[in-house]
Amino acid sequence: MTTSTPDASVHVRDLKKQYAVHEKEPGFMGSLRSFVSRKTKYVEAVGGVSFDLAPGEVVGFLGPNGAGKTTTLKMLSGLLHPSGGEARIAGFEPRKRETAFLKQITLVMGQKQQLIWDLPALDSFLVNQAIYEIPDAQYHATMREFTEVLSLDGILKKQVRKLSLGERMKCELAAALLHRPRVLFLDEPTIGLDVNMQEAVRAFIRDYNERYGATVILTSHYMADVTALAQRILVIDSGQLVFDGDLARLAEQGKGGGKTVKLKLREAVSAAQLAPYGGDVKVDGLSVELTVPRSEVSARAARLLADLDVADLTVEDPPIEAVMAELFGATAKVEKEAVSG
């Protein structure tokens, strides 16, 4: 059941953030020099990002470390004042941090955020209930629902500092969503968790999105998070938005717009023999992988089947990790060429 409202939309125009960074040479002399005259450098963390999200949309926000993902999320949640541009989240300007705005959003970053370290998680939930002015009936209904979906039974009365990483993350998520926010900013919500726990968190986010029609912006280094949850991908690199589209279109950008053909052969062949059929040839015993142009997939596959003793043939989009690596590699290369040129 989706209960989305037009309020949960996100509009971002030319959003910028510049940081002042103090630089110091290492060692004693560096410290002395810095004491007398400190060097300040201005770094552009986000250099004019624009996008719109419809209510209920789940978007994967990807990019290498230091690309500007977290800075953008912090600006959208009102933690950072932008250096330029504007953002409207659920109809509010984040930097004003109005009470009504804060009740509409949540930002999850890491596993030591909301919970009171020395007390059971239940105490933190009660604090959030009071601060967010959640009516008793809604609080109990939400707690029942979260306890079931996140399997919180038995851990709510344990001291937070005695919870495992996974248990703590589940409690953090529950605390962050207790007030049923309409816009979720999730920064690496599964980082450090084991595979089962990652899947549980993904299922919880998916369920929350479907149940409440919440708009979700998700950053993650685990592509499984993104492919499982997001319909649309935003890629940011060096503070610039370099891609905005769906997963399939992102996959098309990989391997120069090619597809990956995987073969199981009955007789071994060399890489040189396979070269005429495609690029990026990888041979591992009887398993072979090569990239062919998207427009020639049918013809090349037919030739492979005719010319070689093939036991099995599959055609796939390149893995999203490879696409990302290629995309960021290309950006870095362009930057390097621009500098050297």
Partner 1 sequence: MSVIRKTRVLFATRFAEMAEYRAEVIIWMLSGTISLVMMLVWMAQAANAPGGQINGYDASQFATYFLSVWLVGQLLVVWVGWELDFMIRQGTLSPKLLRPMDPMWVEYAAHVAERFVRIGPMLVLLVIFAALSGASFTREWWAYPVTLGLCILGFTCRFLYEYTLGLLAFWTESSTSFSEVAWLLYAALGGLFAPLTFYPQWVQDIAIWTPFPYMLGLPAQVLAGKATLAQAGSGALILFSWVVLFWFARLLVWRLGLRKYGAVGA
Give residues in contact with partner 1 (CB under 8 A).
19, 74, 77-81, 97, 99, 102-103, 105-107, 109-110, 112-114, 116, 118-119, 123-124, 126-133
Q: At 179, which amino acid appears? A: H
Closest residue by Cα to residue 189 from 176, 179, 212:
176
Question: Backbone dihedral region of 97: left (phi > 0), alpha (psi from -120 to 50 degrees) or beta?
Answer: left
Q: What's the min distance (Å) between Cβ of 29 and partner 1? A: 20
Strands 10-23 and 39-53: antiparallel
Residue closer to partner 1 by CB (options 219, 291) is 219
Residue closer to partner 1 by CB (options 4, 113) is 113
How many residues would you count in the chain?
A: 341
Residue closer to partner 1 by CB (options 110, 245) is 110
Q: What's the min distance (Å) between Cβ of 327 and partner 1? A: 27
d(CA 202, CA 224): 9
d(CA 226, CA 55): 18
Residue 38, CA atoms < 13 Å, CB-side half-sphere: 6
- 181: its two tokens: 């926010």
Residue closer to partner 1 by CB (options 178, 226) is 178
Name, in order, each residue with C-beta under 8 angstroms of 321's C-beta and a sequence gap of 6 or more. 223
Residue closer to partner 1 by CB (options 128, 253) is 128
Q: What's the min distance (Å) between Cβ of 114 and partner 1? A: 5
Q: What's the min distance (Å) between Cβ of 8 and partner 1? A: 17
d(CA 235, CA 315): 25
Q: What's the min distance (Å) between Cβ of 186 and partner 1? A: 13
Residue closer to partner 1 by CB (options 118, 321) is 118
d(CA 312, CA 74): 48
Q: What's the min distance (Å) between Cβ of 178 and partner 1? A: 11
Q: What's the min distance (Å) between Cβ of 113 and partner 1? A: 4
Residue closer to partner 1 by CB (options 221, 303) is 221
Residue with tokens 């309409």: 182
Residue closer to partner 1 by CB (options 117, 231) is 117
**Exposed e or buried b per residue across 287-318, where buried means at least 16 C-beta atoms within 10 angstroms of its C-beta:** ebbbbbeeeebeebbeebeeebebeebeeebb
Q: What's the min distance (Å) between Cβ of 317 and partner 1? A: 36
Angle at 247 between CA 195 and CA 244, to 5 degrees: 120
Residue closer to partner 1 by CB (options 128, 260) is 128
Enumerate the H helices of the chain as residue ranges: 27-36, 69-76, 99-102, 121-131, 136-150, 165-177, 195-212, 223-229, 247-253, 271-274, 297-307, 320-340
Q: At 290, which amino acid appears? A: L
Q: What's the min distance (Å) between Cβ of 3 and partner 1? A: 22
